[in-house]
Amino acid sequence: MNVEKSLIYFRMHIYTRDSMVKIAFIGVGKIGQTIAYSVIFDGLASEVILYDIIPELPEKFEHELRHAMATRGLSTEVIGTNSLDDVANADIILIMAGKPRKPGMSRRDLFVDNAKIQIDLAKQLPPRNPGALYIMVANPVDMMASVFMRFSKQLTISTGDTVETMRMRSYISKKLKVPVTKVTGYVAGEHGEDAVVLWSTVKVNGKPFEEVAKGVTKEEVENYVKSIPGEIIRVMGGTTWGPATIIKDIVRAIVLNEGRVMSIATPRTYKDEIIHISVPIVVGAEIGPSLEGVLPESDKERLNKSVEDFYKVYKENLDHLLQVIKQ
Ligand SMILES: NC(=O)c1ccc[n+]([C@@H]2O[C@H](COP(=O)([O-])OP(=O)(O)OC[C@H]3O[C@@H](n4cnc5c(N)ncnc54)[C@H](O)[C@@H]3O)[C@@H](O)[C@H]2O)c1
Ligand SMILES: O=C(O)C[C@H](O)C(=O)O
Protein backbone atom coordinates (compact mmCIF):
# COMPACT_ATOMS: atom_id res chain seq x y z
CA MET A 1 0.00 0.00 0.00
CA ASN A 2 1.46 3.30 -1.06
CA VAL A 3 0.77 5.77 1.76
CA GLU A 4 2.41 9.02 0.81
CA LYS A 5 0.55 11.45 3.03
CA SER A 6 -1.43 11.32 6.21
CA LEU A 7 -4.51 11.77 4.05
CA ILE A 8 -6.25 8.51 3.41
CA TYR A 9 -9.20 8.02 1.19
CA PHE A 10 -10.85 4.75 1.46
CA ARG A 11 -14.34 3.71 0.68
CA MET A 12 -16.29 1.50 2.98
CA HIS A 13 -19.85 0.76 3.86
CA ILE A 14 -21.77 3.84 4.87
CA TYR A 15 -24.21 2.83 7.56
CA THR A 16 -27.69 3.42 6.15
CA ARG A 17 -31.00 1.67 6.69
CA ASP A 18 -30.14 -0.92 4.07
CA SER A 19 -26.43 -1.47 4.52
CA MET A 20 -25.13 -3.51 7.43
CA VAL A 21 -21.83 -3.13 9.22
CA LYS A 22 -20.00 -6.07 10.77
CA ILE A 23 -17.58 -5.13 13.53
CA ALA A 24 -15.07 -7.43 15.24
CA PHE A 25 -13.48 -6.88 18.66
CA ILE A 26 -10.16 -8.65 19.16
CA GLY A 27 -9.47 -8.76 22.91
CA VAL A 28 -12.52 -8.31 25.11
CA GLY A 29 -11.03 -7.38 28.45
CA LYS A 30 -11.77 -4.10 30.21
CA ILE A 31 -11.56 -1.67 27.32
CA GLY A 32 -12.76 -4.15 24.69
CA GLN A 33 -15.92 -4.95 26.58
CA THR A 34 -16.69 -1.28 27.17
CA ILE A 35 -16.14 -0.33 23.54
CA ALA A 36 -18.22 -3.26 22.27
CA TYR A 37 -21.08 -2.39 24.63
CA SER A 38 -20.93 1.28 23.57
CA VAL A 39 -20.88 0.42 19.85
CA ILE A 40 -23.87 -1.92 20.15
CA PHE A 41 -25.91 0.48 22.25
CA ASP A 42 -25.20 3.26 19.77
CA GLY A 43 -26.74 1.01 17.09
CA LEU A 44 -23.59 1.13 14.99
CA ALA A 45 -23.33 -2.53 14.01
CA SER A 46 -25.68 -5.11 12.61
CA GLU A 47 -23.27 -7.89 13.57
CA VAL A 48 -20.57 -8.06 16.25
CA ILE A 49 -17.87 -10.69 16.72
CA LEU A 50 -16.15 -10.91 20.10
CA TYR A 51 -12.83 -12.75 20.19
CA ASP A 52 -10.39 -13.41 23.02
CA ILE A 53 -7.92 -16.11 23.99
CA ILE A 54 -9.32 -16.51 27.50
CA PRO A 55 -11.52 -19.64 27.35
CA GLU A 56 -15.26 -18.89 27.58
CA LEU A 57 -14.78 -15.12 28.10
CA PRO A 58 -16.22 -14.06 24.70
CA GLU A 59 -19.09 -16.53 25.01
CA LYS A 60 -20.11 -15.38 28.49
CA PHE A 61 -19.74 -11.74 27.41
CA GLU A 62 -22.07 -12.56 24.51
CA HIS A 63 -24.68 -13.72 27.02
CA GLU A 64 -24.24 -10.51 29.01
CA LEU A 65 -24.74 -8.39 25.91
CA ARG A 66 -27.79 -10.38 24.78
CA HIS A 67 -29.38 -9.84 28.21
CA ALA A 68 -28.70 -6.11 28.02
CA MET A 69 -29.99 -5.88 24.42
CA ALA A 70 -33.20 -7.69 25.36
CA THR A 71 -34.34 -4.87 27.62
CA ARG A 72 -33.89 -2.40 24.77
CA GLY A 73 -35.19 -4.65 21.99
CA LEU A 74 -31.90 -4.43 20.11
CA SER A 75 -31.34 -7.05 17.42
CA THR A 76 -27.60 -6.79 16.81
CA GLU A 77 -26.30 -10.28 16.06
CA VAL A 78 -23.52 -10.99 18.60
CA ILE A 79 -21.12 -13.94 18.51
CA GLY A 80 -18.53 -14.66 21.20
CA THR A 81 -15.75 -17.01 20.18
CA ASN A 82 -12.31 -18.31 21.07
CA SER A 83 -11.68 -19.24 17.42
CA LEU A 84 -10.16 -16.76 15.00
CA ASP A 85 -11.84 -18.76 12.20
CA ASP A 86 -15.09 -17.12 13.31
CA VAL A 87 -13.64 -13.62 12.78
CA ALA A 88 -14.51 -13.37 9.08
CA ASN A 89 -15.83 -10.78 6.62
CA ALA A 90 -15.75 -7.95 9.14
CA ASP A 91 -15.91 -4.36 7.87
CA ILE A 92 -14.14 -2.87 10.90
CA ILE A 93 -11.82 -4.71 13.28
CA LEU A 94 -10.83 -3.14 16.59
CA ILE A 95 -7.75 -4.61 18.28
CA MET A 96 -7.57 -4.34 22.09
CA ALA A 97 -5.53 -7.55 22.40
CA GLY A 98 -2.54 -6.75 24.56
CA LYS A 99 -1.25 -6.20 28.05
CA PRO A 100 -2.22 -2.99 29.80
CA ARG A 101 0.42 -1.06 31.70
CA LYS A 102 0.75 -1.18 35.48
CA PRO A 103 1.21 1.90 37.69
CA GLY A 104 4.60 3.50 37.05
CA MET A 105 5.01 1.95 33.59
CA SER A 106 5.11 3.82 30.30
CA ARG A 107 2.96 2.63 27.42
CA ARG A 108 6.17 2.17 25.46
CA ASP A 109 7.26 -0.49 28.00
CA LEU A 110 4.56 -2.72 26.47
CA PHE A 111 6.10 -2.61 22.99
CA VAL A 112 7.75 -6.04 22.65
CA ASP A 113 5.05 -8.11 24.36
CA ASN A 114 2.18 -6.41 22.54
CA ALA A 115 3.97 -6.19 19.19
CA LYS A 116 4.33 -10.00 19.17
CA ILE A 117 0.55 -10.25 19.52
CA GLN A 118 0.00 -7.78 16.66
CA ILE A 119 2.39 -9.67 14.38
CA ASP A 120 0.47 -12.89 15.01
CA LEU A 121 -2.87 -11.19 14.39
CA ALA A 122 -1.45 -9.48 11.29
CA LYS A 123 -0.88 -12.91 9.78
CA GLN A 124 -4.22 -14.42 10.78
CA LEU A 125 -6.87 -11.71 10.36
CA PRO A 126 -6.44 -10.31 6.81
CA PRO A 127 -7.05 -13.53 4.82
CA ARG A 128 -10.47 -13.91 6.44
CA ASN A 129 -11.39 -10.19 6.41
CA PRO A 130 -10.60 -8.74 2.97
CA GLY A 131 -10.89 -4.98 2.84
CA ALA A 132 -11.46 -4.51 6.57
CA LEU A 133 -10.42 -1.29 8.28
CA TYR A 134 -8.29 -2.00 11.36
CA ILE A 135 -8.51 0.33 14.37
CA MET A 136 -5.69 -0.22 16.84
CA VAL A 137 -6.42 0.33 20.54
CA ALA A 138 -3.69 -1.78 22.23
CA ASN A 139 -0.74 0.19 23.56
CA PRO A 140 1.59 1.74 22.71
CA VAL A 141 -1.24 2.32 20.31
CA ASP A 142 0.41 4.29 17.51
CA MET A 143 3.43 1.99 17.41
CA MET A 144 1.18 -1.08 17.53
CA ALA A 145 -0.77 0.30 14.58
CA SER A 146 2.51 0.78 12.70
CA VAL A 147 3.63 -2.78 13.55
CA PHE A 148 0.29 -4.28 12.56
CA MET A 149 0.21 -2.38 9.27
CA ARG A 150 3.85 -3.26 8.55
CA PHE A 151 3.16 -6.99 8.91
CA SER A 152 -0.38 -7.11 7.53
CA LYS A 153 -0.16 -4.52 4.73
CA GLN A 154 -3.73 -3.60 5.66
CA LEU A 155 -5.14 -0.11 6.24
CA THR A 156 -4.72 0.51 9.95
CA ILE A 157 -5.47 3.57 12.02
CA SER A 158 -4.83 4.21 15.71
CA THR A 159 -7.20 5.83 18.17
CA GLY A 160 -4.27 8.15 18.78
CA ASP A 161 -4.84 11.45 20.55
CA THR A 162 -8.62 11.50 20.36
CA VAL A 163 -8.47 10.52 24.04
CA GLU A 164 -5.99 13.26 25.00
CA THR A 165 -8.07 15.78 23.07
CA MET A 166 -11.15 15.07 25.19
CA ARG A 167 -9.08 15.01 28.40
CA MET A 168 -7.66 18.44 27.51
CA ARG A 169 -11.08 19.89 26.74
CA SER A 170 -12.69 18.44 29.87
CA TYR A 171 -9.91 19.85 32.10
CA ILE A 172 -10.17 23.38 30.65
CA SER A 173 -13.97 23.19 30.88
CA LYS A 174 -13.81 22.27 34.56
CA LYS A 175 -11.12 24.79 35.52
CA LEU A 176 -12.72 27.72 33.66
CA LYS A 177 -16.26 26.63 34.59
CA VAL A 178 -17.50 26.66 31.01
CA PRO A 179 -19.53 23.94 29.23
CA VAL A 180 -17.18 21.49 27.52
CA THR A 181 -19.04 22.21 24.26
CA LYS A 182 -17.54 25.70 24.43
CA VAL A 183 -13.99 24.35 24.43
CA THR A 184 -12.45 23.40 21.10
CA GLY A 185 -8.95 22.33 20.16
CA TYR A 186 -6.87 19.22 19.55
CA VAL A 187 -3.94 17.22 20.89
CA ALA A 188 -1.64 15.66 18.29
CA GLY A 189 1.59 13.66 17.94
CA GLU A 190 1.95 10.40 19.85
CA HIS A 191 -0.65 8.99 22.23
CA GLY A 192 1.35 9.26 25.43
CA GLU A 193 4.59 10.93 26.48
CA ASP A 194 5.02 12.86 23.22
CA ALA A 195 1.48 14.18 22.92
CA VAL A 196 1.41 17.82 21.78
CA VAL A 197 -1.42 20.24 22.60
CA LEU A 198 -1.98 22.24 19.41
CA TRP A 199 -2.49 25.51 21.26
CA SER A 200 -3.33 27.41 18.08
CA THR A 201 -6.51 25.30 17.87
CA VAL A 202 -7.57 25.65 21.53
CA LYS A 203 -10.39 28.15 21.97
CA VAL A 204 -12.87 28.86 24.78
CA ASN A 205 -16.13 30.46 23.70
CA GLY A 206 -14.41 31.15 20.38
CA LYS A 207 -11.57 33.08 22.01
CA PRO A 208 -7.91 31.95 22.03
CA PHE A 209 -6.95 30.09 25.21
CA GLU A 210 -4.40 32.77 26.18
CA GLU A 211 -7.10 35.45 26.25
CA VAL A 212 -9.43 33.65 28.65
CA ALA A 213 -7.24 31.29 30.70
CA LYS A 214 -7.71 32.91 34.09
CA GLY A 215 -5.30 31.17 36.44
CA VAL A 216 -4.91 28.10 34.22
CA THR A 217 -1.50 27.63 32.64
CA LYS A 218 -0.67 25.67 29.49
CA GLU A 219 1.83 23.60 31.52
CA GLU A 220 -0.93 22.65 33.97
CA VAL A 221 -3.19 21.48 31.14
CA GLU A 222 -0.37 19.50 29.48
CA ASN A 223 0.60 17.88 32.78
CA TYR A 224 -3.01 16.86 33.41
CA VAL A 225 -3.40 15.30 29.97
CA LYS A 226 -0.24 13.24 30.42
CA SER A 227 -0.65 12.25 34.05
CA ILE A 228 -4.36 11.55 34.53
CA PRO A 229 -4.43 8.11 32.81
CA GLY A 230 -1.65 6.81 35.06
CA GLU A 231 -3.51 8.12 38.11
CA ILE A 232 -6.73 6.42 36.98
CA ILE A 233 -4.83 3.17 36.40
CA ARG A 234 -3.27 3.44 39.89
CA VAL A 235 -6.69 3.74 41.56
CA MET A 236 -9.15 2.02 39.21
CA GLY A 237 -6.82 -0.58 37.63
CA GLY A 238 -7.33 0.69 34.08
CA THR A 239 -8.89 3.42 31.97
CA THR A 240 -12.15 2.35 30.36
CA TRP A 241 -15.15 4.68 30.40
CA GLY A 242 -13.43 7.72 28.91
CA PRO A 243 -11.40 6.04 26.15
CA ALA A 244 -14.15 3.52 25.31
CA THR A 245 -16.74 6.24 24.71
CA ILE A 246 -14.29 8.30 22.69
CA ILE A 247 -13.15 5.30 20.61
CA LYS A 248 -16.78 4.32 20.02
CA ASP A 249 -17.23 7.82 18.57
CA ILE A 250 -14.46 7.14 16.04
CA VAL A 251 -16.44 4.10 14.88
CA ARG A 252 -19.60 6.23 14.87
CA ALA A 253 -17.98 8.95 12.74
CA ILE A 254 -16.92 6.32 10.17
CA VAL A 255 -20.09 4.22 10.14
CA LEU A 256 -22.46 7.21 10.08
CA ASN A 257 -20.17 9.13 7.73
CA GLU A 258 -20.20 12.11 10.12
CA GLY A 259 -17.15 13.90 8.71
CA ARG A 260 -16.12 14.82 12.28
CA VAL A 261 -12.65 16.30 12.84
CA MET A 262 -10.87 13.94 15.24
CA SER A 263 -7.25 13.54 16.27
CA ILE A 264 -6.76 9.93 15.22
CA ALA A 265 -3.41 8.57 14.05
CA THR A 266 -3.30 7.74 10.36
CA PRO A 267 -0.38 6.12 8.53
CA ARG A 268 2.30 8.23 6.87
CA THR A 269 5.57 7.35 5.22
CA TYR A 270 8.47 8.72 7.28
CA LYS A 271 12.04 7.91 6.24
CA ASP A 272 11.97 4.12 5.71
CA GLU A 273 8.87 3.26 7.72
CA ILE A 274 5.13 3.78 7.79
CA ILE A 275 4.34 5.38 11.14
CA HIS A 276 1.14 6.54 12.82
CA ILE A 277 0.92 10.09 14.12
CA SER A 278 -2.22 11.90 15.28
CA VAL A 279 -3.27 15.12 13.64
CA PRO A 280 -6.82 16.56 13.49
CA ILE A 281 -8.37 14.94 10.40
CA VAL A 282 -11.85 14.59 8.92
CA VAL A 283 -13.30 11.19 9.88
CA GLY A 284 -16.18 9.71 7.93
CA ALA A 285 -16.70 6.96 5.36
CA GLU A 286 -13.55 8.53 3.97
CA ILE A 287 -10.71 9.80 6.14
CA GLY A 288 -9.10 13.09 5.23
CA PRO A 289 -8.14 15.85 4.66
CA SER A 290 -6.16 16.74 7.78
CA LEU A 291 -5.58 20.16 9.33
CA GLU A 292 -1.83 19.53 9.49
CA GLY A 293 -1.12 21.74 6.50
CA VAL A 294 -2.81 24.80 8.03
CA LEU A 295 -1.17 24.69 11.47
CA PRO A 296 1.03 27.70 12.38
CA GLU A 297 4.81 27.19 12.62
CA SER A 298 4.72 27.14 16.44
CA ASP A 299 2.50 24.05 16.48
CA LYS A 300 4.15 22.48 13.42
CA GLU A 301 7.60 22.62 15.03
CA ARG A 302 6.42 20.84 18.18
CA LEU A 303 4.52 18.29 16.13
CA ASN A 304 7.55 17.60 13.91
CA LYS A 305 9.70 17.07 17.01
CA SER A 306 7.15 14.57 18.26
CA VAL A 307 7.24 12.78 14.89
CA GLU A 308 11.05 12.58 14.97
CA ASP A 309 11.08 11.25 18.53
CA PHE A 310 8.35 8.75 17.71
CA TYR A 311 10.29 7.46 14.70
CA LYS A 312 13.53 7.14 16.72
CA VAL A 313 11.92 5.15 19.54
CA TYR A 314 9.78 3.10 17.15
CA LYS A 315 12.75 2.18 14.97
CA GLU A 316 14.87 1.17 17.98
CA ASN A 317 12.05 -1.00 19.34
CA LEU A 318 11.26 -2.48 15.93
CA ASP A 319 14.88 -3.41 15.22
CA HIS A 320 15.11 -5.03 18.67
CA LEU A 321 11.85 -6.87 18.07
CA LEU A 322 12.99 -8.19 14.69
CA GLN A 323 16.09 -9.58 16.39
CA VAL A 324 14.00 -11.17 19.14
CA ILE A 325 11.51 -12.88 16.80
CA LYS A 326 14.34 -14.14 14.62
CA GLN A 327 15.83 -15.94 17.65
N1 LIG B 1 -5.80 3.54 23.06
C2 LIG B 1 -6.33 3.84 24.23
O3 LIG B 1 -6.74 4.97 24.50
C4 LIG B 1 -6.43 2.75 25.27
C5 LIG B 1 -7.31 2.87 26.35
C6 LIG B 1 -7.37 1.81 27.29
C7 LIG B 1 -6.58 0.68 27.12
N8 LIG B 1 -5.74 0.62 26.06
C9 LIG B 1 -4.88 -0.55 25.83
O10 LIG B 1 -5.70 -1.63 25.41
C11 LIG B 1 -5.11 -2.87 25.82
C12 LIG B 1 -6.11 -3.67 26.63
O13 LIG B 1 -6.35 -2.96 27.81
P14 LIG B 1 -7.38 -3.59 28.89
O15 LIG B 1 -7.42 -2.66 30.04
O16 LIG B 1 -8.62 -4.00 28.21
O17 LIG B 1 -6.56 -4.91 29.34
P18 LIG B 1 -7.19 -6.32 29.75
O19 LIG B 1 -6.04 -7.14 30.25
O20 LIG B 1 -8.40 -6.12 30.58
O21 LIG B 1 -7.70 -6.92 28.35
C22 LIG B 1 -6.80 -7.37 27.38
C23 LIG B 1 -7.47 -8.57 26.73
O24 LIG B 1 -6.69 -8.97 25.60
C25 LIG B 1 -6.73 -10.36 25.55
N26 LIG B 1 -5.65 -10.88 24.71
C27 LIG B 1 -4.34 -10.98 24.99
N28 LIG B 1 -3.69 -11.53 23.95
C29 LIG B 1 -4.63 -11.77 22.99
C30 LIG B 1 -4.59 -12.31 21.68
N31 LIG B 1 -3.43 -12.75 21.14
N32 LIG B 1 -5.74 -12.39 20.98
C33 LIG B 1 -6.91 -11.95 21.52
N34 LIG B 1 -7.02 -11.43 22.77
C35 LIG B 1 -5.88 -11.35 23.48
C36 LIG B 1 -6.60 -10.80 27.00
O37 LIG B 1 -7.01 -12.14 27.15
C38 LIG B 1 -7.53 -9.79 27.67
O39 LIG B 1 -8.84 -10.27 27.76
C40 LIG B 1 -3.85 -2.48 26.60
O41 LIG B 1 -2.71 -2.49 25.77
C42 LIG B 1 -4.15 -1.05 27.05
O43 LIG B 1 -2.98 -0.29 27.30
C44 LIG B 1 -5.64 1.61 25.14
O1 LIG C 1 -2.85 5.07 29.80
C2 LIG C 1 -3.01 3.89 29.44
O3 LIG C 1 -2.16 2.99 29.61
C4 LIG C 1 -4.31 3.52 28.75
C5 LIG C 1 -4.62 4.47 27.61
O6 LIG C 1 -3.51 4.65 26.77
C7 LIG C 1 -5.16 5.80 28.10
O8 LIG C 1 -4.56 6.84 27.75
O9 LIG C 1 -6.18 5.75 28.80
Q: What is the mean pLDDT of residues 14-41?
A: 86
pLDDT digits (tens, 9 = 90+) for 231-256: 999 999 999 999 999 999 999 999 99
Q: How far is the CA of 113 from the centre of ligand 1 (A)?
A: 12
| pLDDT given at position 193 | 85
What is d(CA 230, CA 155) in angstroms, rounded to the nearest whole number? 30
Atom number of ligand 2 nearest to Cα 239: 9
Cβ-proximal residues to 308 (8 Å cutoff; 6+ apart), any chain: none
Q: Residue whose CA is closest, atom 39 of ligand 1?
A: 29
Report whether residue 250 contacts ligand 1, using a CB cutoff of 6 Å. Answer: no
What is d(CA 48, CA 62) in angstroms, rounded to the nearest whole number? 10
- Ligand closest to Cα of 142 equals 1
Q: How far is the CA of 114 from the centre of ligand 1 (A)?
A: 9
- Ligand closest to Cα of 237 equals 1
Q: Residue whose CA is closest, atom 1 of ligand 1?
A: 137
pLDDT above 90 for 195: yes
What is d(CA 292, CA 275) in angstroms, rounded to the nearest whole number? 16
- Closest to 134 (Cα-Cα) out of 100, 99, 97, 108: 97
Atom number of ligand 2 nearest to Cα 100: 3
Q: Which residues are annotated as a binding site for substrate?
A: 101, 107, 139, 167
In contact, 172 and 221? CB cutoff 8 Å: yes
DSSP bridge pairs for 266: 277
In contact, 187 and 164? CB cutoff 8 Å: yes
Give me the active site residues, please: 191
- Ligand closest to Cα of 229 equals 2
Atom number of ligand 1 nearest to Cα 240: 6
Report whether residue 76 contacts ligand 2, using a CB cutoff of 6 Å. Answer: no
pLDDT above 70 for 223: yes
Q: Residue whose CA is closest, atom 22 of ligand 1?
A: 29
By DSSP bridging, strand 77-81 and strand 47-51 are parallel
pTM over 0.90: yes
pLDDT digits (tens, 9 = 90+) for 47-73: 999 999 999 999 999 999 999 999 999
| pLDDT given at position 8 | 52
Q: What are phi and psi of 118, to 5 degrees?
A: -65, -35
In contact, 26 and 53? CB cutoff 8 Å: no
**Amino acid identity at 61:** F
**Mutation pick for ligand 2 pocket among 139, 171, 187, 276 (CB with most ligand atoms within 8 Å):** 139
| pLDDT given at position 103 | 93
| pLDDT given at position 324 | 85
Q: How far is the CA of 233 from the centre of ligand 1 (A)?
A: 13
How would residue 124 be classed by pLDDT, with cut points 50, 70 and 90? very high
Longest dimension (CA), the chain: 57
pLDDT digits (tens, 9 = 90+) for 255-293: 999 999 999 999 999 999 999 999 999 999 999 999 999
pLDDT above 70 for 225: yes
What is d(CA 255, CA 79) in angstroms, rounded to the nearest whole number? 20
**Amino acid identity at 189:** G
ipTM of the complex: 0.99
pLDDT above 60 for 15: no
